[in-house]
Structure 1
């Protein structure tokens, strides 16, 4: 419900309108709270996959802080590109940018167990992929036909399915703890479960900022609980705070630059998915906030900013950025379309990005507590994909496309050893599961004739084909 005390209905639908500052600042911070956990989580996951030590005395501790710092800083920079714009770059809309979960199935195999040395190739891929993503803005409208809900829904579902295992591992004690006696202990699960319970309670029974910030508050409650049960000590928190600098600037090419075919191909292919996601978010903002369709100029500018923001982040050790869908819902809920409100949130993120001590505090969140949060977040990614798939007409043709793409993609992800004789580049790309599933779905969607849509489907649906939604199988079948 829009708060008309902020301005007239016409003003609230105007991206160039600025509400009174005393209201604009908390609205901007509210946008940051809605996306903050999701924004820094990929950095922690990639660091964990690379084998970084998470203790404040670990030699990898400064690197982890830096990755968290860059996630905040360049989410803010990319958001400013969208709200303030530079020439054709940016949509001049209240679009909040943040680190994308979509690229995690590509990034995790690239760095798995390789430590800091793997980051040069990863960020090389981020830079090249970001430039490619920006180029998509010149013809994004012309390639949307190749990515209908069947394809995008499958890809988003696969992203979530690729990540849910990580959520469970974190809740049980984290990847380094696998095989140890404490892994999967009741104590570990109690912290994760508390986060899930608090998050769900606030999301469904609270209103306003409490509901919007449900995951963040759930993590705070879990954090306090972990201190109470001795999972985290005050001394550890103090050590992380004191070992982190008060102020630090980003360093260009901190981890070097390396051309990796697997990284470049993976990031460029995922750029298609991210670009389409941004198109959907821009359309959602203009429809929910201003009750109109997005213009071609807005969609093009948003895609340019998406890609350029990612490329700039890669130069300094930041991860790919994309528009955040949760903030689209927040605009529809508040009814405030002002891009200047989101600019305030972006400035807040940038300030946090220059203060490593913020990252130091985030780093102390126990992996089990974070696991509770990511279980909710990754589950929502799967649910979002299924929601997209609900728009698909489930005829024989589409069922075959979905079945084959999912079977091969998910199968390769679950059994990477099946491709052990491939060289590194194709093996990394194929065992992500995501890229083969997306490729197969796109190709089959383009080449399979539409006539298949009207044919019987018994051979692929166990005799339940052709039924209307919610109907029972016909009784005249033998």
Structure 2
């Protein structure tokens, strides 16, 4: 329910309304708290997949800090593109941008075990994919027909399924610990379990800011637990703080410019899914915050900003940005539609991104503690996909499309060796699972005759009511 002390109902529904500053600032920081962990986690996951050492004495330590720093900085800049806008770029709506999980199944195979040297190709793909994403703004309304809930729900579900393994590995001790006696120990799982318990308790039993920031508070609880039981020595925190600079500017093309067909094609194809996700978020914000449908100009501007924000981030070593759905829900919950509130949050993110010491503290979060948080986050990605699929009419046609795409997509994720003889660029795309599944689902949805779809839905199994909830 909206707080009427912030303004009249009409004012709260107006994106151009500015609440009193004393209340606008905490509302803006609340948006940051809702997305903070999700925003920096992909940078840590990619660094871990590339084989970075996480210790403060590791030669990779400055690169890890830089990736975390860029995640914060360019989430803030991309958010400003949406709220402040530049010409047609931006929706002039309270859209919070952040690092996208959707691209992780593409990025992880690109950098797997290859260290810093693999980042040049990854960020080149990010730049070119972002420019392609921006171009989608001119046609986004005309390609939506090819991406119904059957396709988008399948892809989002597969994104989550591709990442749940990462969450379990982190909770057990991290990839470098696999095969060691410490991997999967009770101590590691106790830290991850505490994060999960605190997060769920706040999600279900708290209200307001506590519920919105449940994952962040859960990780803070796990962080304190790790210090208390000796998993994280205070000397490590002090070393990370002292070894990180107080202020640093981003560096263009820090990792070079290296063309990779797999990276460029992968980023471009995933940009289509990301663009559709942004359309959904813009529609959700307009409906939940202002009680109206999103305009064509808002959808087009949001897509431009999505792509341009990703391209600019790639130049400086930032990852693809997209609109964050959790902040859409926050707007509906608070009833405050003001884009200026989100602008305040964006400025806070930018300031954090210019201070590497913030990244130094984030780096000290034990991998087991982070694992507890990402288990919940990645599980929610799967749940979001299942929720999208609940809108599908499950006739035989759609079941065949879903079954075929899911089997091949998930199968290639689980058994990458099955395509070991493909060219390297094509193998990277295939083992992501997402792109083969999306291509199959889109192709079959466009090619299979609708007559099959006119059949009656498949009956529910005996004992389950037809109107039982699916999510």
Q: How far 1:452 sits from its partner (Å)?
A: 1.0
Q: How far 1:470 sits from its partner (Å)?
A: 6.9
Q: How far 1:423 sits from its partner (Å)?
A: 1.4
Q: Name the SS for the 1:382 alignment partner.
A: helix
- 2:312 equivalent in structure 1: 312
- 1:476 equivalent in structure 2: none
Distance 1:320 1:467 in 2: 40
Q: How far 1:466 sits from its partner (Å)?
A: 3.5
Distance 1:307 1:444 in 2: 28
Contact kept? 1:287, 1:293, Cα under 8 Å: yes
Contact kept? 1:65, 1:363, Cα under 8 Å: yes
- 2:6 equivalent in structure 1: 6
- 1:40 equivalent in structure 2: 40
Contact kept? 1:281, 1:323, Cα under 8 Å: yes
1:271 is the counterpart of 2:271: yes
Distance 2:115 2:381 in 1: 27
Q: Deviations over 1:346-372 (max 9, x none)?
A: 000000000000000000000000000
RMSD, aligned α-carbons: 1.2
- 1:461 equivalent in structure 2: none
Q: Name the SS for the 2:138 alignment partner.
A: coil
Q: Name the SS for the 2:284 alignment partner.
A: helix
1:343 is the counterpart of 2:346: no
Task: Report runs of 4+ in structure 1 exceeding 6 Å deviation.
Answer: none
Distance 1:456 1:466 in 2: 8
Distance 2:20 2:465 in 1: 57
- 2:155 equivalent in structure 1: 155
Q: With structure 2 as the length reference, what TM-score do the two structures score?
A: 0.98
1:190 is the counterpart of 2:190: yes
Matches within 5 A, 1:135-284: 135-284=135-284
Matches within 5 A, 1:69-80: 69-80=69-80
Distance 1:335 1:472 in 2: 36
- 1:113 equivalent in structure 2: 113
- 1:462 equivalent in structure 2: none
Distance 2:39 2:462 in 1: 38
Distance 2:456 2:438 in 1: 26
Q: Name the SS for the 2:36 alignment partner.
A: helix
Q: How far 1:108 sits from its partner (Å)?
A: 0.1
1:394 is the counterpart of 2:420: no
Q: How far 1:454 sits from its partner (Å)?
A: 3.6
Number of aligned residues: 466
Distance 2:295 2:354 in 1: 35
Q: Deviations over 1:8-42 (max 9, x none)?
A: 00000000000000000000000000000000000
Distance 1:288 1:327 in 2: 11
Q: Name the SS for the 1:137 alignment partner.
A: helix
- 1:59 equivalent in structure 2: 59
Contact kept? 1:284, 1:328, Cα under 8 Å: yes
Q: Deviations over 1:141-168 (max 9, x none)?
A: 0000000000000000000000000000
- 2:29 equivalent in structure 1: 29
Distance 1:124 1:79 in 2: 22
Distance 2:318 2:372 in 1: 25
Q: How far 1:471 sits from its partner (Å)?
A: 5.0
Matches within 5 A, 1:93-108: 93-108=93-108
Distance 2:315 2:453 in 1: 47
Matches within 5 A, 1:399-414: 399-414=399-414
Distance 2:88 2:462 in 1: 45
Q: How far 1:469 sits from its partner (Å)?
A: 10
- Name the CA shift for 1:59/1:394 in 2 (closer, same or farther; >3 Å): same
Q: Deviations over 1:287-335 (max 9, x none)?
A: 0000000000000000000000000000000000000000000000000
Q: Deviations over 1:385-418 (max 9, x none)?
A: 0000000000000000000000000001000000
Distance 1:382 1:414 in 2: 17
Contact kept? 1:396, 1:454, Cα under 8 Å: no
Contact kept? 1:395, 1:466, Cα under 8 Å: no
- 2:469 equivalent in structure 1: none
Distance 1:143 1:182 in 2: 50
